[in-house]
Amino acid sequence: MTLDFKARVRARGFDLTFGVKTGETIAVMGPNGAGKSTLLGLLAGLVHADQGHARLDDRTLFDATAGSRAWTQPHRRGVALLAQEALLFPHLSVLDNVAFGPRSTGASRQEARAVARQWLTEVDAAELGGRRPAALSGGQAQRVGVARALAADPSLLLLDEPLSALDIGAAPALRRLLKRVLADRTALLVTHDPLDALVLADRVLVIEGGRLVDDGPTREVFAHPRTAFVAGLAGMNLVTGVRSADGIEATDGWKVVAPFEAEVARGASSAIVVKPSLVRVSHLKPGRAEGNAVWQTILDVEPRGDSIRIRGDMLAADVTPAAAADLDLAPGDTAWFAFSADAGVGYAL
């Protein structure tokens, strides 16, 4: 195992244990304040743990177990961090920015510049070597940031939402670049974008409240969300409860009928997911044919491409603009949300 991590930071309510195999790219996801930045800070040497350890191959990054307070300086960890902004040195050329990592580990100026040219070529930025950072676009600067991070030959690459600051035109090109350079490289990618996770990551760690709430192959985590946060990322409604004879009994007593994809024992913790496009909204109570119906308060009404999402306190529905106009709902109003029994899919939690 390349990375063995277990750490607690009491002041931040952070308590997390996981491992990363050699060559794995892990997407780290969670709501704001979940602990993602704390995790990166611990690995990069910017945050100190109250308890725990992190070992990268045969190198101890920190060890705060009983009787030990080992802590490796950030520049000696073999860890490179690429943030939302490239944070290039403004007084250095692009070439010397990328050469900074090899130079800091003892390479000669000539050797470091040779490595820098190699990585600038790798990220399709060879022609930018003579420029200063102020002359770069956002996409160009982030490409150079990728080159600078990789030129240091890190054992672990940390990426903190590297696409979030880019405009919509620059992000796809950088995503393709990262897919290429992350192949067989050990990396942690913090992102809020499910597309980044699906394209770039082998696994997903989901953190909420400083704790690990889900860990698994990327497509599996999105296909079977365990929390409302992940269900939202996957574009699904999530209802949780316990297995009943023909579906689940939700925690608020709502009985939801849906087929299960595998056998689950009665009384076991379970979930049902349903796409918002399969949920109907009405002022009148639906008939039995709808299967599942709940009266709920409207939280939000927002355009989403060619549909309108009406979000209630339990379910969301995607309806046509014409249907939204006919319903004439606003936050605070109430309405029926319904879906047929065969629209949902159940599974064990």
Please report, for the domain that includes residue 261, its CATH number.
Answer: 2.40.50.100
- Same domain for 87 and 161, yes or no, is yes
- Same domain for 141 and 210, yes or no, is yes
- Same domain for 269 and 201, yes or no, is no
* 8 Å CB contact between 119 and 179: no
- Same domain for 212 and 241, yes or no, is no
267: left (phi over 0), alpha (psi -120 to 50) or beta: left
- Same domain for 182 and 323, yes or no, is no
Cα gap 249→263, rounded to integer Å: 16
Buried b (16+ CB within 10 A) or exposed e, 173-203: ebbebbeebbeebbbbbbbebbebbebbbbb
Q: What DSSP line would sit under 303-317, residue for residue? A: EETTEEEEEESS-EE
- Same domain for 136 and 274, yes or no, is no
Alpha-carbon distances, residue 120 vs 76, 116, 165 (angstroms) = 24, 6, 21
Q: Residue ranges of the alpha helices (H) in 262-341?
A: 321-327
Tokens of 8: 């607690």
Cα gap 99→284, rounded to integer Å: 67
Q: Estimate the crossing angle of helix 171-181 against helix 138-151, to 10 degrees.
A: 10
Token look-up 């925690």 returns 251
Blockwise average pLDDT, block size 10, the chain, 349 residues: 92 96 96 95 96 94 87 92 88 94 88 93 90 92 90 93 80 87 93 93 96 96 94 94 92 88 93 96 85 93 93 95 95 96 93
* pLDDT at residue number 169: 76
* pLDDT at residue number 1: 62
Residue 161 is assigned to a structural domain of this protein: yes
Residue 228 is assigned to a structural domain of this protein: no
Residue type (1 letter), 50: D
Residue 323 is assigned to a structural domain of this protein: yes
* pLDDT at residue number 232: 92
* pLDDT at residue number 69: 83
* pLDDT at residue number 240: 94
**CA-wise closest residue to 182 among 209, 157, 148:** 157
* pLDDT at residue number 299: 96
- Same domain for 340 and 193, yes or no, is no
- Same domain for 77 and 193, yes or no, is yes
Cα gap 174→198, rounded to integer Å: 15
Residue 230 is assigned to a structural domain of this protein: no
Residue 229 is assigned to a structural domain of this protein: no
Which of 188, 223, 258 is where one domain is finished? 223
Alpha-carbon distances, residue 102 vs 97, 108, 116, 122 (angstroms) = 10, 8, 8, 16
Which of 223, 256, 290 is where one domain is finished? 223
- Same domain for 323 and 197, yes or no, is no
Range of the domain at 169: 3-223
Residue 163 is assigned to a structural domain of this protein: yes
- Same domain for 297 and 183, yes or no, is no
Task: Say how many domains are in the chain.
Answer: 2
φ, ψ of residue 334 in degrees (nearest 5): -125, 155
Helices and strands of the chain, counted as H and E runs: 9, 21
Which of 223, 246, 281 is where one domain is finished? 223
pTM confidence score: 0.88
- Same domain for 156 and 242, yes or no, is no
Domain harbouring 212, CATH code: 3.40.50.300
- Same domain for 271 and 313, yes or no, is yes
Under 8 Å CB-to-CB from 38, ≥6 apart: which residues? Answer: 9, 12, 14, 47, 210
